[in-house]
Amino acid sequence: MVWAVLLALLLAGGGWGWELTVVFTTDLHTSLVRLAKFRDVFRQADLVLDGGDAWEDTHRLTGEAEAWETMRRMGEYGYTAMVLGNHETYLGPRALGRILAETSFPVLATNLRAPLPTQPWALVERKGLRILILGVLWDLAVIWPGWELEEPYAALEEALAAVPPHDLFILLAHMNTDRAFDLVRRLSRKPALVVLGHDHQVYLEPRVVEGVPVVQAGSRGKALGIVRLGPEGVQHYEILKPAETLPLAIPSGTFGVLGLFALLALLWRG
Amino acid sequence: MEIGVWVWALGTLPLAMGGGGGVALGPQPWLALPLGPAQFFLGFTDPPCALRAKLLSGPWFLWAEVPPRVALARAPGHALVALVRTESGFSLGWEIAEDPRLSLFGSLGAENALGVRLRHRQLWAALLVRTGGLFAWCGLYF
């Protein structure tokens, strides 16, 4: 009888000797060339997560083409989910809506009410574990007409009261570090892992806030994080950096856009 | 440029860049109706109507208007910035939101103005200083 119960627990995977490999990126800012270096690592992961700011780079004035290409490549690499970052909002509601409609993995925005195909949560199953993933953003986001951004804590508590049954909860957060730490402290139900983006920091070790590991892997594909999670928490943590940092591509459309505007302005002078 | 036209052309960048419709109530009220990728403007202004055609809708935003005006915009960070060629020359329209409820906005160049906008969901109210006068506006995005 005892063996039958143990076997049932093992098969159910409900917290008995499980191990999950989570690979994560943060603040990619369309760094496709660098992302490609990690292709083999993605294949070995149970979950591939992104902490937001993947599809736009203001420094390089990237265009819609780079956003589309990054989204497609993330789909090819098997991303499980990402959270919307403030830079995704800079794409504008129409371009962002078009891209989101074609994205093959969930893009989470638990605290955003907008006519966009984002999701408040994602529930995935790996190794018999039902894993709930939520994602919130806050700092420096552009709130377009028709959008409403709820305070992350209230939105998360509201979502956690309504989500389906699950064994594990992972939070993707795109906001300032201090705000994220405070959010983790206040949450009534603690996540097993927080993937944090926005501040472009590389955490060589997880920051632990009230027992919750918070991880971040820098920006622009210069690093990638690997977490092995088990029933006791983080079993292994590693930040991978490629031997050489590849240069970022120059966006192709910028000069075309500027040229078109100059032409229109000259032709259409008042 | 009349003040109602200034609010339409340079003073409501979230509407110009984001699209959709809007109403602005102030010294020269106006209504903007969305027509697919375009916006139709009707107001107590001279001229009383205008049309804006969206040529690019992000992350570069480009639009052309009749009466003639052309604008190139971008959201570099949480600010909205638009270089607008108006009948009086080039102007830089801008709006910076430090908080989803409060923003500063204005324009520099051929058209100079400065305002502060309070926003609650789809409603907004603004105080605007332009050509030495202080004007109160409010509006709605839809």
At residue A193's C-alpha, the angle toward residues B100 and A212, to 5°, is 90
Put simply, the answer to whether B69 touches A62 (Cβ < 8 Å) is: no
Q: Nearest-CA residue of chain B relative to A63?
A: B59
Q: What is the mean pLDDT of residues A207-213?
A: 98
Cβ–Cβ gap A96/B77 under 8 Å: no
pLDDT at A266: 80
Q: Spell out the residues 6+ positions from residue A100 whose beta carbon is closer than 8 angstroms to its own.
A: A107, A116, A117, A118
pLDDT in tens, B39-71: 999 999 999 999 999 999 999 999 999 999 999
Is CATH 2.40.160 the right assignment for the domain spanning B3-141?
yes
Phi/psi of residue B101, nearest 5 degrees: -105, -10
Chain A residues within an 8 Å CB radius of B85: 264-265, 268-270
pLDDT-derived band at A4 (thresholds 50, 70, 90) equals low
What confidence tens digit (pLDDT) does each residue in A64-74 have?
A: 999 999 999 99
CA-derived radius of gyration, chain B: 13
pLDDT at residue A257 tops 70: yes
Please name the member of B69, B119, B142 whose beta carbon is closest to the beta carbon of A270. Answer: B69
> DSSP class of residue A21?
E
In angstroms, how far is the first alpha carbon of chain B from the final one? Answer: 25
Contact B9/B136 with Cβ under 8 angstroms? Answer: no
User: How large is the average pLDDT for residues A42-52?
Assistant: 97
- The packing angle between helices A93-102 and A64-76, to 10°, is 20
Q: Is A17 exposed, middle or buried (0-12, 13-18, 19+ CB in 10 A)?
A: exposed
Cβ separation B62–A67 shorter than 8 A: no
CA proximity to A171, closest of A87, A49, A77: A49
Q: How many CB atoms lie within 10 A of CB A21?
A: 18
Extract the tokens encoding A15: 């917290």
List the single residue in B with minimal CA-CA distance to A256: B60
Is residue A133 within 8 A of residue A102, CB to CB? The reply is no
**Geometric angle at alpha carbon A217, from A211 and A220, rounded to 5°:** 155
Using the Cβ of A253 and the Cβ atoms of chain B, whether some distance falls under 8 Å is answered with yes
Would you say B112 and B86 are in contact if contact means Cβ atoms under 8 Å apart? no
- Alpha-carbon dihedral of residues A269, B2, B4, B9, nearest 10 degrees? 20
Residue A259's φ and ψ, nearest 5 degrees, are -65, -40
- Token pair, residue B80, equals 């909205």
- In chain B, positions 30-49, which contact chain A (CB-CB < 8 Å)? none
CA A147 → CA A12, A108, B30, distances in Å?
41, 15, 22
Q: Where does residue A125 rank: exposed (0-12), middle (13-18), buried (19+ CB within 10 A)?
A: exposed
**What are the structural domain ranges in chain B?**
3-141
Distance, in Å, from the CA atom of B32 to the CA atom of B16, rounded to the nearest integer, reads 10
Q: Is A65 on the interface with B (CB under 8 A)?
A: no
What is the rounded average pLDDT for all residues in chain A? 91
Q: What's the pLDDT band for A88 if we cut at 50, 70, 90?
A: very high
| Residue A16: predicted pLDDT | 62
Q: Which residues of A touch B124 (CB under 8 A)?
A: none
DSSP string, A204-245: SS-EEETTEEEE-B-STTS-EEEEEEETTEEEEEEEE--SS-
Q: At what angle do helices A177-186 and A152-160 cross, to 10 degrees?
A: 40
**Cβ–Cβ contact B93 with A under 8 A:** no
Does A257 contact B69 at a Cβ distance shorter than 8 Å?
no
Report yes or no: A143 at the B interface, CB cutoff 8 Å.
yes
Spatial neighbors of A193 by CB under 8 A, at least 6 apart, are A22, A170, A171, A212, A213, A215, A227, A229, A234
Share of chain A above pLDDT 90, in %: 80
pLDDT at residue A17 greater than cutoff 90: no
Binary contact (A67, B78; C-beta < 8 A): no
* Contact (CB, 8 A) for A134 and A152: no
Mean pLDDT in residue range A53-59: 96
| Mean pLDDT computed over A221-230 | 96
Between CA B108 and CA B93 the distance in angstroms is 7
Domains of chain A: 18-267 (3.60.21.10)
Residue A218: how many other CB atoms lie within 10 Å: 20
Contact B18 A264 (CB under 8 A): no
Q: Which of A58-62, A85-89, A154-158 has the lowest mean pLDDT?
A: A58-62
Q: Best of B55, B57, B60, B99 to disrupt the A interface by mutation (most A CBs within 10 Å)?
A: B60
Q: Return the residue in A29, A62, A94, A138 with the most chain B beta carbons within 10 A, the one to mutate for interface testing.
A: A94
CB contact under 8 A, A149 and B100: yes
Given a contact cutoff of 8 angstroms between Cβ atoms, the answer to whether A184 and A190 are in contact is yes
Summarised one tens digit per residue, pLDDT across range B68-112 is: 999 999 999 889 999 999 888 999 999 998 888 899 999 999 999
Minimal-distance CA residue of chain A relative to B59: A91
Amino acid A14: pLDDT:
46
Look at residue A269 in the predicted model and tell me its pLDDT: 63
Do the Cβ atoms of B68 and A148 come within 8 Å? no
Task: Report the residue from A56, A95, A260 with minimal CB separation from B57.
Answer: A95
Interface residue of B55, B85, B121 to substitute, partner A, most A CBs within 10 Å: B85
B131 touches chain A (CB under 8 A): no
CA distance A190 to A208: 12
The mean per-residue pLDDT over the stretch A160-187 comes to: 97
